[in-house]
Chain A
Amino acid sequence: MISYKHVFKSFDGGKHFAVEDVCFEVHEGETLVLLGSSGCGKTTLLKLTNHLLQPTSGTIEVDGQDIARQSSISLRRRIGYVFQGIGLFPHMTVEENVAMVPRLLGWPAKKRRERAHELLGIVGLDPETYATRFPEELSGGQQQRVGVARALAADPAYLLMDEPFGALDALTRDTLQRELLALKQRLKKTIVFVTHDIFEALALGDRIAVLQGGRLEQIGKKEEILQMPATEFVRELFAKPAQQLAAYGEML
């Protein structure tokens, strides 16, 4: 379980808050989607979670432990992170990229290799073909599969995903979303997933947290949010795409 307790984050010494008084919890085994437009603080919140950023005030607890009181290095090795910019190491092969966290944790070479190949299989990349390739030799979708495999390598209980499919075309994104859902069933991870895409949020999220201007507008199951939007903003947010979809349907 991850819990946020009155978390504030300011980058300018308190004039503006990128995250303002955020309180909620991520339950064991659920996929929580942080939804909001750019600049709403969702990525900041994610980075606070594995201590890439330190909160200005408030505490974040992972498994009941305040993360400020533990080594951020070992924290990060226990939490898988899939980056918005993918961030594969361009000078390493796919296999080396995937095996990086196990390497940092000191696994023996053989075990690392087996684990990397296993994970490549799980994310749908044939290890025989892809293990020895370099990131530049892969398509964007393939790169992000490797990114997911890397995040899963040390079998972390938590997975933080920062708009992982944002830069992909619609078809690839759809495939990867499906695969993530399947993966989730199989691996039973607790996932915090950041997106600005409402359909992605509805497709993947068990619960959705809507952020606006650094504040939490509403958190709840998707049905609750759709049926009982807590604020005008939330209602608008979900109404817009529905109108667009209706217009699109008429055109067809």
Chain B
Amino acid sequence: MLAESWVALVSERLPELWLRTGEHLMLSGVSTGAAILVGIPLGICAARIWWLRGPLIGGVGILQTIPSLAMLAILLTLLDKIGAIPAVIALILYALLPIVRNTLAGLEGVSPAVVEAACGIGMTSRQRLWLVEIPLSMPVIVAGIRTAAVLSVGIATLSAFIGAGGLGQFINRGLALSNTELILLGAVPVALLALVVDGSIAALQWGLRRKRSRDSRFRAAIDRILRPLALAMPVALVVLGCFAYFSTNTSSANPAWGPSGTDGRVIRIGTKNFTEQLILGELMAQLIEARTGLIVERRFNLGGTMICHGALKSGAIDMYAEYTGTALTAILDLSVIADPDRAHETVVREYRRRFSAEWLSPFGFNNTYAITVRKSDATSRNLQTISDLIGIAETLRAGFTAEFSERPDGYPGLRSVYGLQFREVRDLDPALMYQAIAKREVDVICAFATDGRIAAFELQPLRDDRGFFPPYQAAPVVRSEFLAVRPELRPVLDLLAGFLDDATMQRLNFEVDEKKRRPVEVAREFLEGQGLLESSN
């Protein structure tokens, strides 16, 4: 990667980088702070009350072993919320273990002779704790806090999956768009931030330590200069974090911590975490911005169907684009409906009834799953339909998205309808799936029919000759409550209805995936080209 392109990228993204850094510091700072307030008392309890020790240490240990994404998903379900609150709770739970454990270790490490002396001269249990045990365990406790803080900075990247912002947003988007530069734009600052946070706490500890009278004059002189600096560092970090966070914290720029009530002036649009969703999100957002008085909050890049759906249900977002087939099978738990119109009618009816949400008219394209192989293999082995895989599937390696591996309209259904059993099935990130098949690490993938990379990577979708995959027509889904307040939303979004056919969507996806252009630009260019941005009045 060229240095200039880096400089250009960073300077272009600087305002957002600033905002995300502020959010990131806020997420990890608030959660580490809370973990200190909870963890140290827990550690003290563990040290004092013998029967609490096992359960406490075991409990916080178990919390730590829960994979971070699973933790976020669990909290999302429990709290019925997306955004900063579940993210902060998850981070607190992770930060607890090092703090509780180190507090316990520190207290237990205090020399028995000193503890006996403290008792013997007549200290009460509380005085012993505050005057002797805690001060003497401080180095160990602070080491635990440092571990917790660094851990929080690292794990906070994952909170972008549930719309809590932070530097993870770049990583998340970079993954969704298979854009390495964007990933690095998130990852490098996170690593630096971890170092700075760790260093600041160490500096604080050093700055607060008591002077030894025997320190040499030279050391004392250095001390005089360095001590204020050491104390200034953590203060500067906190001030910087608050400033970065609050200086840019308008409700539209920073959805993560914004209010979640509906007042009909702000519409919060969500998307899942892949290219097409981001483009659709931008298309809808820009159209709404151009043609209504609504302010759009972009809560993009939520980590998957269930998170988007959960967010819509709980009112954390007002709208996102869903696919009929996905809604039928994965959300409504109904059987596959092959007829596109009937499928749409069904989801309209069921969503109204069950979720108080409204399906608008489909955009036009059908982003069905396409079982896809390399063109070269298709030619050499004469593969045209999925049935042609029968008999050779046992020799092939499949790479599917995690969602596809589990969904009834995915691999489980495919296996029973076609009787396919692949030699190996790997769960891959949607963006990595195409690279994996191009690099011959897998032989079959579950591509999306509208993905621009099918053409770009010389892949061949196989025809679904048994009609297994339901239609996956994309359409905006809006909370009924919101639509009732702003009925003008429907005609505006209907401007896009039927406007995006398979080829158009493939082309837009390709612009982003392969030409590395930003969804914002691609969407704007398309809308301008179609004359959709000019106001109708």
Contacts and interface: CB of A to CB of B under 8 A. Distances in A.
Contacts of B210: 91, 134
A83 B113 contact: yes
A124 interface: no
B242 to A, nearest CB: 32
Interface string A74-102: 11110001011111111100000000110
Nearest to A96: B131
B120 interface: yes
Given A52-B116, A104-B122, A91 B212 contact: no
Contact of A86 (B113, B131, B212): B113
B348 interface: no
A104 B123 contact: yes
- Decide if the interface of chain A is mainly helix, strand, loop or mixed: mixed
Interface string B179-208: 000000000000000000000000000000
A91 B117 CA distance: 14
A89 B132 contact: yes
A133 interface: yes
Interface in B107-149: 111, 113-114, 116-124, 127, 131-132, 135-136
Q: How big is chain A's contact interface, by range? A: 20 to 34
A77 B113 contact: no
A50 interface: yes
Contacts of B219: none
A215 interface: no
A106 B12 CA distance: 63
B118 A89 contact: yes
Contacts of A75: 122
Contacts of B136: 89-91
Contacts of A86: 113, 117
Contact of B114 (A52, A89, A137): A89
A77 B121 contact: yes
Contacts of B119: 52, 76
B380 interface: no
Contacts of A74: 122
A77 B122 contact: yes
B130 to A, nearest CB: 12
A227 to B, nearest CB: 36
Interface residues of B, number: 21
Interface string B83-127: 000000000000000000000000000010110111111111001
Contact of A104 (B116, B121, B214): B121
A73 interface: yes
A84 B210 CA distance: 27
A84 B111 CA distance: 13
Contacts of B135: 91
A83 B115 CA distance: 11
Interface string A7-36: 000000000000000000000000000000
A132 interface: yes
Contact of B122 (A85, A90, A101): A101
A62 B132 CA distance: 28
Nearest to A94: B213
A50 B120 contact: yes
A76 B121 contact: yes
A145 interface: no
Contact of B121 (A100, A132, A134): A100
A150 interface: yes
Nearest to B127: A104
A72 B120 CA distance: 10
A87 B122 contact: no
A246 B121 CA distance: 42
Interface in A136-173: 137, 150-151
B49 to A, nearest CB: 21
Nearest to A137: B214
Interface string A105-142: 00000000000000000000000000011100100000
Contacts of B120: 50, 52, 76, 81, 83, 87
Given A90-B136, A133-B213, A85 B121 contact: no
A107 to B, nearest CB: 14
Contacts of B117: 81, 83, 85-89
Contacts of A101: 121-122
Contacts of B114: 87-90
27 contacts: A52-B120, A72-B122, A73-B122, A73-B124, A75-B122, A76-B120, A76-B121, A76-B122, A81-B117, A83-B117, A88-B117, A89-B118, A89-B131, A90-B136, A91-B132, A91-B135, A91-B136, A91-B210, A100-B131, A101-B122, A104-B122, A104-B127, A133-B213, A133-B214, A134-B210, A134-B213, A150-B121
Given A84-B113, A133-B212, A150-B121, 16 more contacts: A50-B120, A52-B119, A73-B122, A76-B119, A81-B117, A83-B120, A86-B117, A87-B118, A87-B120, A88-B114, A89-B131, A91-B132, A100-B121, A100-B131, A101-B121, A104-B123
Interface of B: 111, 113-114, 116-124, 127, 131-132, 135-136, 210, 212-214
What 6 A-B pairs come out closest when comparing CB atoms?
A87-B117, A76-B122, A85-B113, A77-B122, A81-B120, A87-B113
